[in-house]
Chain A
Amino acid sequence: MTPGRTPLLALRQISKNFGAVEALVGVDLDVHAHEVVALVGDNGAGKSTLAKVIAGVLQPDSGLIEMDGAPVTLPSASAANRLGVASVFQDLALCENLDVTANVFLGREMYNRAGLLQEGQMETETRALLRDLTVRVPSIRTPLRHLSGGQRQAVAIARTVIGNPRIVVLDEPTAALSVAHTAEVLTHIERLRGMGLGVILISHNLNDVRAVADRVEVLRHGRNNGSFRGDASHEEILAAITGAGSPSL
């Protein structure tokens, strides 16, 4: 990373409590364009909570969010969307009864002056999008329930690219996927980076993380617990995740 470059997204001292649970305590995070930042940590470390803060689904109790160096508020998912943040949530947020095209454009449908859907145009864009990401589905009119887990995940990733986002948050996109499908998803992530986006990848799989991430940020008990380059060793990162050898112990 070029030092001194203004990050696309910067989180400063973000805290979030759920009642007595301190999910996030003074967390900092920077994401630049053309960068994949992996967010790792044990179960309950606060990764999904942080992802939801960035996606506008949860509001932090305190802390500052900046985009391009200017402070912003993200009061809702659609507000975050407008600012260029797109997310794939851990609990896969797709409608199984709708087809691929409808899912890709859900909440952002194209319609004409009469208020009718422009299916043709949405199909063309979907097809182009899936081609760019080399996602293979039987047909862009196939209902999601007929797709495999990997294909669904690919559709979920593809839908983030609609509306020209600048930041994409992926919460465990490879959980529950076979090795082959995982490899595919990782390729999609590299394509996103190639398109110039900032990507936040949450994962428990350190092999995946080290394969694509430029930087690895560790969360532990809701706090920053180390920052590593993408080529850091498995052991180093694992130690930070489990807290072994950390200053607090």
Chain B
Amino acid sequence: MNAIDSLRDMITRNMRQSGIMVAFVAIVAFFAILNPNFLSPTNLTNIVLQYSYILILAIGMLMIIVAGHIDLSVGSVVALTGAVSAVLVIRNGMPWWVGVLAAIAVGLLVGAWQGFWVAYVGIPGFIVTLAGMLLFRGLTYLVLNNASLSPFGGNYYDVANGFLNGLLGGYGVDVFTLVIFGIAVVGYGVSQWRTRRGKIAYQQTVESLPLFVVKLVIVAAVVMWFGYQLASSRGLPLVLIILAALVIIYGLVTQRSVFGRHVYAVGGNRHAAELSGVKVKKVYFWIFVNMGFLASVAGVVYSSRMNGAQPSAGNMFELDAIAACFIGGASTTGGVGRVGGAMIGGLIMAVMSNGMQLMGVPQSMQQVVKGLVLLLAVAFDIWNKRRASVVR
């Protein structure tokens, strides 16, 4: 297969995936042209800090959507876990890590609670988490006595606001950050190369070598450029490390583990999965426990970023997380979607919000635009599917 054919084949085969990448690049370019500050080191750092918790939520949400459910409660769970942590750390003067562990414990409990109702009682996730949205918001108010708590300060504050900088020195450009990004790029390259070798060994089709190399080089260049921007600003944000670790782990869980395979199977055809011996109830239960866990991580990050807990924290986060998944190619009927796609979907939302803010677009207009983008993304998906089935 020559390079052109291979390229065309790749694009048509991954229309949805590449479509979303093209859209992302276009949106970034659009804002970069309109506002020279958009790609500045400080602003790139800001985007990471501002939307990390939505991206963390989107990972868990994606698994729930793939399994054919939805979770409307994550915003409330973010608030509740942050509140519990704030009460322990701020009001009772406990160490920062007690707050973190308590938040995660609460998240797991919440997840087990919702998972129980969905998996073992058989109530649709939509209803269970709608109830949860009210329930956990109410509990947040109770835990906080209707009042905000602040500040966390210290190590807790650093979770979402801290940077690794100057560990290896450098003149205005943090060497450590560059080294980490370098390792990431090499790791990515090696894993791609090994996947390719594996595919060839098992006689699967792969894109032609030049195309493969070009792809790697582009990705490496973009990532290193991004790393350089961070390095010349404040260094490597801690949340970026957390986020990267989660994306890698959940990428493996969803694409390479038995559990992940079963999540897709259950979302694709619950009945078939059950007859094939997949433990459907267990899958339902654990995806909600997992969502509770990730919501608690997001709760810690968000309360840390806000340096305190408010009763109304995390309002509407569920909608951002859900939108990220659907923009990123998840199917509304379940069974389809990837963590990587949800991350790009979340970044599209993030870049649009940030870009419009920089341009001084009023909040009302921002919502209109984001709503339209969500609608168009799903419409494109449906159109694309229809086209594919006509081709067959």
Contacts and interface: CB of A to CB of B under 8 A. Distances in A.
Interface of A: 55, 57, 77-78, 81, 87, 89, 91-98, 102, 106-109, 111, 115-117, 119-120, 123-124, 139, 141, 145-146
B264 A123 contact: no
A107 B335 contact: no
B269 interface: yes
30 contacts: A77-B274, A77-B276, A77-B277, A81-B277, A93-B275, A93-B276, A94-B269, A94-B272, A95-B265, A95-B273, A96-B335, A98-B261, A98-B268, A102-B265, A106-B265, A106-B272, A106-B276, A107-B278, A115-B257, A115-B258, A116-B257, A117-B256, A117-B258, A117-B261, A119-B198, A119-B256, A120-B198, A123-B202, A139-B204, A146-B388
A111 B278 CA distance: 15
Chain B CB within 10 A, most for which of A81, A106, A120, A145: A106
A93 B271 contact: yes
A103 to B, nearest CB: 8
B336 interface: yes
A41 to B, nearest CB: 22
B223 to A, nearest CB: 25
Q: Considering the complex of A and B, which 5 residue pairs feature the smallest CB-CB distances, nearest first?
A: A107-B277, A97-B268, A107-B276, A97-B335, A95-B268
A14 B125 CA distance: 39
Given A95-B335, A107-B265, 16 more contacts: A77-B277, A78-B277, A92-B272, A93-B269, A93-B272, A96-B269, A97-B264, A97-B335, A98-B264, A98-B268, A102-B265, A111-B258, A117-B258, A123-B202, A146-B388, A146-B392
Interface in B360-392: 388-389, 392
A93 B198 CA distance: 30
Contact of A106 (B267, B273, B392): B273
Contacts of B249: none
A123 B204 CA distance: 10
B201 interface: yes
A89 B275 contact: yes
A91 B277 contact: no
A107 B205 CA distance: 27
A124 B276 CA distance: 21
B338 to A, nearest CB: 12
Given A107-B277, A109-B261, A120 B268 contact: no
B204 A77 contact: no
A91 B202 contact: no
B64 to A, nearest CB: 16
